[in-house]
Structure formats: structure tokens, C-alpha cells
Amino acid sequence: RQTYQLVFEYIETFYNTVRIHNHCGYMSPNNYESEFFKCRS
């Protein structure tokens, strides 16, 4: 159970938010979201 929790936390807090994604224009989702809101304001 603890191993599952650690892997889940890694995926949700680093892998999916910091890693670049091609569908985000090769930006991390965090950077993509920041750019999105800059353009909207």
C-alpha cells in the first residue's frame, strides 16, 4: 500500500505536471497553463 501511494504521488505531483508533453506544445502542463492564463488576461 505504501509503495502504491508513493508511486501515485510521484506520477501526480511530478511526472504529469513537470514532464513535457507533445500535446502541450512540448511544454509541461504547469507551463502550458501559465501561458494560457497570460494570454487570456
Q: Are 15 and 23 in contact (CB under 8 A)?
A: no
Q: Are 9 and 2 in contact (CB under 8 A)?
A: no
Cell readout for 35 is 501561458
pLDDT tens per residue, range 10-36 = 888 888 888 888 988 899 988 999 999
Question: What per-residue confidence (pLDDT) applies to 27?
Answer: 92
Q: Is the pLDDT of residue 38 over 90?
A: yes
pTM of the entire structure?
0.60
CA quadruple 20, 18, 11, 6: dihedral, nearest 10:
150
Distance, CA of 19 to CA of 41 (rounded, Å): 25
SS3 20: coil
